[in-house]
Amino acid sequence: MTCRAEHLSSLDVDVEDSAWIYLTFPERRRAELHLDFVQRAYTRTCKVVGETGTALWDFNVQEVRWFSAEESSSEKLSAKPEGWKSIPYVFEANDMYVAEMVHFLESLGSGTGPMVDLEQSRDVIRVVEAAKKSSEEGRPQSLNWTSEATAGPVVAIIQARMGSSRLPGKSLAEIEKRPMLWHVIQRVKRARMVDRVVVATSTAPADDAIENMCQENGVPCYRGSENDVLDRFYHAALAEKPAKVVRITADCPLIDPEVIDRVVRRFERGDLDYASNAMVRSYPDGLDTEVFSFSVLERAWHEANKASEREHVTPTCVRKNSGRPMSRTIRRPCTSIIAGRWMRWRIWNSFGPCTRLFAIGRRLE
């Protein structure tokens, strides 16, 4: 981050009233932010420039405009005129402030949760502090959300088995002419924060079908004890040599890759050994994501001696912790007074094929 902040107005206040902030991210991504609280002409725009085009929101012009580099290239070949396209869009004046005031009043009346959680608020403060320091010292400041302790590949392990007292064979139950496990694998692979996806199942003969499905689709499959689930999961992780492990169950065919990414990002700040969105429910059932360090998993594998400690994975990991803050529940940003805990994903034909990417914000019951 590089920032230049100044006091340009004649107002007798001891605070910067103009700031230019430049952010450089990995993968050649950049962002620029200009804050000016004294300029006469009111402007409020948001511009996103990518490899395939540009999108521009102009709150004064009352329209959204975009330019497609791909369409421009095809238009050149066909000798058609090129340029920006637009659609009318009315932006309400001061909509952000109105939304904040409405949320504040709803919080007083019905206890609506915060729009920004404590961790996100802390991130904002870190950005502000880095910006002020960059302006004062005249040099860039580094903002690294990943600690050295968490550096390394992120491996998602999907626990699958054919045995189930309520629904035998559910892992390979057919949805849209594909096994349920296939849908889970495809959706987890869409998570940008996950490097590799593997399946862990048991050596029971009934689970041969799971291994066969994985081989047909080129997905690593590790098999272990049917009863010692912790040992099975540990050896699946050990073979992949991860720094971080994401635990997903095979009975969640609508798992949301965006939710997975959010939990992983929270974990990668490096101040926790375990992060989850399920310890305190705010997301619908079926979106459960757990992230923990391999070192915590290994410690639990070594120290768990009772059979009751080895028939599950994460409860043992939580108990066998390093003494650091152990867990954090990643809450769903609350935009409604309806508690997300009581929502459930249901498979509807109106969703279209499950291979399509749809997220929690678009498909809530």
Question: Residue 359 has what pLDDT?
Answer: 57
Taking CA atoms, 348 is separated from 37, 286, 308, 353, in Å, by 49, 15, 38, 10
Of residues 98 and 239, more confidently modeled: 239
Residue 202 in this model has a pLDDT that exceeds 90: yes
Judge contact between 264 and 244, C-beta under 8 A: yes
Sign of CA dihedral 328, 332, 337, 338: negative
Around Cβ 151, how many Cβ atoms within 10 Å?
A: 11
Q: What is the pLDDT of residues 31-77, one digit of tens each?
A: 888 887 776 566 778 888 887 888 888 877 888 888 887 775 555 44
What are the extents of the domains in the chain?
148-351
Structure tokens at 318: 């939580």
Of 332, 340, 365, residue with least CA distance to 350: 365
Model confidence at 354, pLDDT cuts 50, 70, 90, reads very low
DSSP3 helix / strand / coil % (the chain, rounded to 5): 35, 20, 45
What's the one-letter identity of residue 279? M
In terms of C-beta density within 10 A (0-12 exposed, 13-18 middle, 19 or more buried), how is residue 326 classed?
A: middle
Question: Helices (DSSP H) in the chain: which residue ranges?
Answer: 69-77, 95-110, 118-137, 180-189, 208-216, 229-240, 257-267, 294-303, 307-310, 314-319
For helices 180-189 and 208-216, give the axis angle rounded to 10 degrees.
50
Q: What is the pLDDT of residues 101-134, one digit of tens each?
A: 888 888 887 766 666 666 677 778 888 999 999 9
User: Do 173 and 179 meet the contact criterion of CB atoms below 8 Å apart?
Assistant: yes
- Residue 232 is encoded by which pair of tokens? 């099975």
Burial tier of 40 (Cβ tally within 10 Å: 0-12, 13-18, 19+): exposed
d(CA 345, CA 360): 9
Does 353 score more than 60 pLDDT? Answer: no
- Tell whether pTM > 0.85: no
55 strand-pairing partners: 48, 66
- pLDDT given for residue 250 in this prediction: 92
Calpha distance 337→222 (Å, rounded)? 43
Q: Which residues of 219-253 are buried (b: 16+ CB within 10 A; e: fewer)?
A: bbbbbbbeebbbebbbbbbeebebbbbbbbbbbbb
Taking only the tens place, the pLDDT of each residue in 294-328 is: 988 888 888 888 888 888 887 766 665 544 444 45
Highest mean pLDDT among 106-115, 160-169, 174-183: 174-183
Structure tokens at 169: 């064979």
Helices 180-189 and 257-267, axial angle in degrees (round to 10):
50
If you average pLDDT over every residue of the chain, what do you get? 79
Position 296 scores a pLDDT of 87
The pLDDT tens digits of the residues spanning 271-281 come to: 778 888 887 77
pLDDT in tens, 208-232: 999 999 999 999 999 999 889 999 9
Q: SS3 string of 158-208?
A: EECCCCCCCCCCHHHCEECCEEHHHHHHHHHHCCCCCCEEEEEEECCHHHH
The side-by-side arrangement of strands in the sheet containing 154-159 is 221-224, 196-202, 154-159, 244-249, 290-293, 274-276
User: What does the alpha-carbon distance between residue 355 and residue 187 come to, in Å, rounded to a whole number?
Assistant: 8
What phi and psi values does residue 234 have, to the nearest 5 degrees? -60, -45
The CATH architecture annotation of domain 148-351 reads Alpha-Beta Complex (3.90)
